[in-house]
Structures are given as structure tokens and as C-alpha cells.
Amino acid sequence: MSASATALPTLSTKDLSSDQEVRWCPGCGDYSILAQMKKALTTVGVPREKMAFVSGIGCSSRFPYYMNTYGFHTIHGRAPTFATGLRLANPDLQVWVVTGDGDGLSIGGNHTIHLLRRNVDVKVLLFNNEIYGLTKGQYSPTSRPGTKTKTSPVGSVESPIRPLTIALAAEATFVARTIDVDVQHLVAILQRAAAHKGTAFVEIYQNCKIFNDGVFEYATDKSVKAEHVLYLEHGKPMIFGKDRNKGIRLNGLKPEVVEIGKDCGPDDLLIHDETLSEPTLANLLSRMVNPEFPEVVGVLRAVRKPTYEELMDKQAADAVAKKGPGKIEDLFKAEDTWTVE
């Protein structure tokens, strides 16, 4: 095989841009996610004809129009289903699902869960702005209690879904969170997701300028974010704060915020391990919510398990080894068939 045949494709962000006019509201966080996705994909060594983006319905779901790759804008909440079939029928494709908190966790919640538990080699990006933006501002499954919208004029009384907790409960093998305006971190997480073998689930805090502006200000405002965000690093203690003097310690099965030097020493802090096969620690981190805790960003879990495709291939190979190659016609004419007269 020649060297040219094995060389990785060299793509620019321009190569990945479609000729479609981007139609999101001015200031929308989706612009940043689109830009960082293009940057990330220039480094993963996958040609454009081997990439596909699948979306459902919502502002985020316009994403495939703006990528110069294969793309499918499907029906509400069903992107995981389309992506599963696409991936199984085309094992050479790198398949991404782009969805929002309404599309992926409301009407599509069940489909998202089953994609995650099956560990199909698909990457899921969940844009979380805690609002229905496309339909002009109703509260969503991730809206916080007290959120005032057109459909909750005196404040939502519902408990919000925590996307990372849902993903971990479904035993997703890669679970991460990042933020639309933290561009370097966003690119790094997208690259990690692209490299993961199995279902990767990435929650992205995304600002809706029109209907929920500033909902993540505590995590994006440079003057206060250090006190409210904890950047996870594998193998390192969980430290945060402007002066790097705060950390997370386990008290029994409950995490607690401590001050280093006052409440404890550095050796007492919780050490992050994203490779634990048991997701209990990651689950605890996913449930840390502002203002009681800093909210974690980074990779909560990254483990390797057989993918759905690998298990299916093995099952088929075992059947052939046991019974020999067959024909579909023979299957139709096998046992338990009858003639209707």
C-alpha cells in the first residue's frame, strides 16, 4: 500500500463549512459550538465523506445544514434511532447526533436512553440551554425550579432532569460536560468524544440569548466562574476556587466542599478517576449543582466496553461457525412456516 493511500486527510474548517446561511439568533451559543466542532474535526483524521450528522427538531437541530458532510434533519426526538440504523448499516461512518434538552430529553428521552445503554458507536451532543428556544420560550425538562416562562408564568415547580445523571444511569461509556464559550475546553472534549469507541454523550451548556440569557452566567463570567466551576482532570485532586484553596472531599457517600489548609490537607481531597468501571463516583459528580457545589466540567467517565456493533458481529460469526453460511431464502422457508390456503 502506498504512503498516499494511508495518509490521514487534511481538512480545514472551510472544508467543513456548507454553503447554507447560518440562521441562529445573534449571540446564540450554537455559533461557538459549530465553530469549535469544525476545529475539532480537522484533527481527527476522518474524511468528510465518512462523517454524518443526525438531528431531530429544535434550534440545535439545524446543525447538519451547516456542515459540509452527510447530514439528516429527522423527526422530533428520533435522531438516536436514525443514527443507530445509519451506523449499523455503514460501519465506516463516524456518526454524530446533535440534539437539544427538549428534543433529546423530552419527546426523545426514551430513544436517548436506549442508544446510551446499547453502546452504539455514535457521538451525542446535547445542547442544554434549559429552554425551548425554537418554539419561543417554554420551560424544558432541564429548566430549574422557579423558571418563569410563557408556560410557567409564576415559575416551574418541576424537578429538572440532570442529563449527565441520566447518561450515567444508562451506563454510557463516555460522559462529559463542557461550555459553549470555553472554546479550548470545548474543542478538547469534542476531540475526546470523536476518539471514543462506543456511545459518547457530551452535555454542552449553551446560552439562549433571547429566551434564557445568562442562565449559566455563574459558569461563564470570568469574575466568578472559578468559584462555581470545577475542571475535572483524571488522576488529580478536585480543586477549585479563584485562589485554588477549595476542594471536594467525600464524607461517607456524600461529597462536601472543604477549604484546603483549614478543613483538610490536599491529600484528603477526592481524586478524579474517569476510568472506573463502576459509575458511582461519576454519578455523585453529576449531581453537584450550583450554588451548593461547583459544577463539574470535563470527562466524568471514559471506559471501554464492547460496542453494539462488535457484539452483533460476534453473534453473527458464532452462528456461521456453528451452522455454516446461510441464505435469507432458507430462513424464510425454515421451521414454523405454513401455507395459507
Residue range 280-290, pLDDT digits in tens: 999 999 999 99
Tens of pLDDT, residue by residue over 42-90, are 999 999 999 999 999 999 999 999 999 999 999 999 999 999 999 999 9
Is 326 inside a domain boundary? no
- 174 φ/ψ angles, rounded to the nearest 5 degrees: -140, 120
Amino acid sitting at position 69: T
199: left (phi over 0), alpha (psi -120 to 50) or beta: beta
Segments forming the whole domain that contains residue 239:
235-272
Torsion of CA 213, 215, 219, 223, to 10 degrees: 60
Q: Can you tell me which residue has the cell 458511582?
A: 280
Say whether both 90 and 59 belong to one domain. yes
Say whether both 208 and 262 belong to one domain. no
C-alpha cell at 156: 416551574
Is 331 inside a domain boundary? no
- Give the residue ranges of DSSP H helices in the chain: 3-6, 30-41, 79-89, 101-102, 109-118, 163-169, 183-195, 217-220, 280-286, 308-323, 328-332
Q: Determine how β-strand 239-240 pairs with β-strand 246-251.
A: antiparallel
Spatial separation of the C-alpha atoms in residues 274 and 235, rounded to whole Å? 8
Is 192 inside a domain boundary? yes
Say whether both 127 and 239 belong to one domain. no
What spatial distance separates the first Cα and last Cα of the chain, rounded to whole Å?
59
DSSP string, 175-204: EEEEETT-HHHHHHHHHHHHH-SS-EEEEE
Spatial separation of the C-alpha atoms in residues 13 and 184, rounded to whole Å? 15
Q: What is the domain count for the chain?
A: 2
**pLDDT at residue 7, as a whole number:** 67
3-state secondary structure of 127: strand
Helical (H) or strand (E) element with 230:
strand 229-231
3-state secondary structure of 255: strand
Look at the alpha carbons of 25, 30, 36, 39 in this order and tell me if their dihedral is positive or negative.
negative
Is 332 inside a domain boundary? no
For residue 208, the domain's CATH number is 3.40.50.970
Is 291 inside a domain boundary? yes
- 81 φ/ψ angles, rounded to the nearest 5 degrees: -70, -45
- 51 φ/ψ angles, rounded to the nearest 5 degrees: -115, 145
Check pLDDT > 70 for residue 2.
no
Tens of pLDDT, residue by residue over 18-33, are 999 999 999 999 999 9
Say whether both 244 and 178 belong to one domain. no
Is 120 inside a domain boundary? yes
**pLDDT at residue 55, as a whole number:** 98
Is 171 inside a domain boundary? yes
Tens of pLDDT, residue by residue over 141-181, are 999 999 999 999 999 999 999 999 999 999 999 999 999 99
3 — pLDDT class (breaks 50, 70, 90): very low
Check pLDDT > 50 for residue 1.
no
**pLDDT at residue 135, as a whole number:** 92
Say whether both 198 and 178 belong to one domain. yes
Say whether both 265 and 202 belong to one domain. no
Say whether both 131 and 185 belong to one domain. yes
Nearest of 121, 110, 113, 127 to residue 55 by alpha carbon:
127
Check pLDDT > 60 for residue 4.
no
Check pLDDT > 50 for residue 265.
yes
Spatial separation of the C-alpha atoms in residues 94 and 97, rounded to whole Å? 10
Check pLDDT > 80 for residue 338.
no
Is 203 inside a domain boundary? yes
331 — pLDDT class (breaks 50, 70, 90): confident
Check pLDDT > 90 for residue 336.
no
C-alpha cell at 284: 455523585
Nearest of 184, 145, 178 to residue 161 by alpha carbon:
145
Check pLDDT > 90 for residue 195.
yes
Tens of pLDDT, residue by residue over 93-151, are 999 999 999 999 999 999 999 999 999 999 999 999 999 999 999 999 999 999 999 99
Mean pLDDT of the chain: 95
Say whether both 243 and 167 belong to one domain. no
Say whether both 198 and 169 belong to one domain. yes
Say whether both 126 and 29 belong to one domain. yes
**pLDDT at residue 329, as a whole number:** 85
Say whether both 75 and 44 belong to one domain. yes
Torsion of CA 311, 314, 320, 323, to 10 degrees: -70
Say whether both 158 and 287 belong to one domain. yes
C-alpha cell at 259: 477549604
